[in-house]
Structure 1
Amino acid sequence: EEVKGAGVFGSFESSVGSFGSQKITLNWHSITDRMFDFLELGAHRLDCRGALQEHDRSSGRLITRALRIVVQGHTTSGELGKLEKNATTDSSTEMEITYIKIELDGKNILELDKLNYIYRVNGKDQLADTRRALGL
């Protein structure tokens, strides 16, 4: 948000402690039973994992790091796509994210839970004072 007004010598942009809409889109090559699971009402949770390779300049070796991203949210739209001979259906599902957690090598580097006033960066609780002030 832009901050300006009395007592401020100019305007500047600042975090006000809230986040805008965040969405994730799942693209499907074909229509499957799993795709329709996301059309059920309620929250859906995805646990995505990857292996990241980084080049260590000091040793010249590749280092593999474990990445884990957990997202939870509600489906906002689902597209069945198209049905053509020898082609993918290009179906998709879009979810509004209300929770996201990112771990790198088992270390919690980001956790955002919009519904429970949780925001942690590098393991540091950024909203502890806010929850205390609200009696949560």
Structure 2
Amino acid sequence: MALPKKLKLMNVFNEGNSYCGQVSEVTLPKLSQKMENWRGGGMMGNVKIDMGHNDDMNELSWKLGGLDLNVLKQFGAVKVDSYGLRFAGSYQRDDTGETSSVEIVVRGRHEEIDMGNAKAGDATEHSIKTIWTYYKLSIDGKEVIEIDIPNCIFKVDGVDKYAEHRKNIGL
């Protein structure tokens, strides 16, 4: 029997600034492919054709335990890759004690800053939705997935899935 690796500690960095003790929750991006049904003549059923990444997959949501001037100053950024966020997580198996580091780096801009409810004496929480154009997932220092939407880069386990496509269109 083996036990799963569970998140034990985490932190978020915004342009290198640590939110240790302030970040309460992170909703990590759901990676998804856009797949469309195709059934051509002579086929006895349909297959799903890969049409690239889903339109709504590039979101990272996170919550802070209160007011943060840095995030507010970043709102309304012009460039699609204006700010860098880094999620750092430490996962551990309780049967072996083995730990793994998980790092997700994104570059993007904030689409939404929800200031939440304001009531004196109650805990406050601000929710931020960051839309990314660049994503990189590394586990134990090894790059697992890299997606750079404007530059048409999509790597999985070191394999560049779009290298030939870029070559075919002269990039």
The interval holding the TM-score normalised by the smaller chain is 0.7 to 0.9
Q: Report the counterpart of residue 162 of structure 2 in structure 1.
A: 127
Give the number of the structure whose alpha-carbon radius of gyration is greater: 1
Letter in 2 for 1:75: H
Give 1:47's match in structure 2, choosing from 51, 67, 86: 86
TM-score, reference length from structure 2? 0.70
Structure 2 unaligned spans of 5+ = 1-35
How far did 1:36 drift? Answer: 0.9
Q: Report the counterpart of residue 32 of structure 1 in structure 2.
A: 68
In 2, distance between residues paired with 1:93 and 1:133?
38
| Local SS of the residue matching 1:48 | strand
1:106 and 2:145 equivalent?
no
Please, which moves more after superposition, 17-26 or 99-108? 17-26
In 2, distance between residues paired with 1:78 and 1:23?
13
Which string of whole-angstrom CA distances, capped at 9 and with x for unpartnered residues, describes residues 78-131 of structure 1?
Answer: 222221122222322212121110001111100011111110101111111111
Identity of aligned residues (%): 25
In 2, distance between residues paired with 1:7 and 1:38?
54
Letter in 2 for 1:96: I
In the alignment of these two chains, the number of paired residues is 132
Structure 1 unaligned spans of 5+ = none
Backbone CA RMSD of aligned residues: 1.8
Letter in 2 for 1:86: G
Letter in 2 for 1:68: E
Provide closer, same or farther for how the CA distance between residues 7 and 116 of structure 1 changes in structure 2, counting only shifts above 3 A: farther
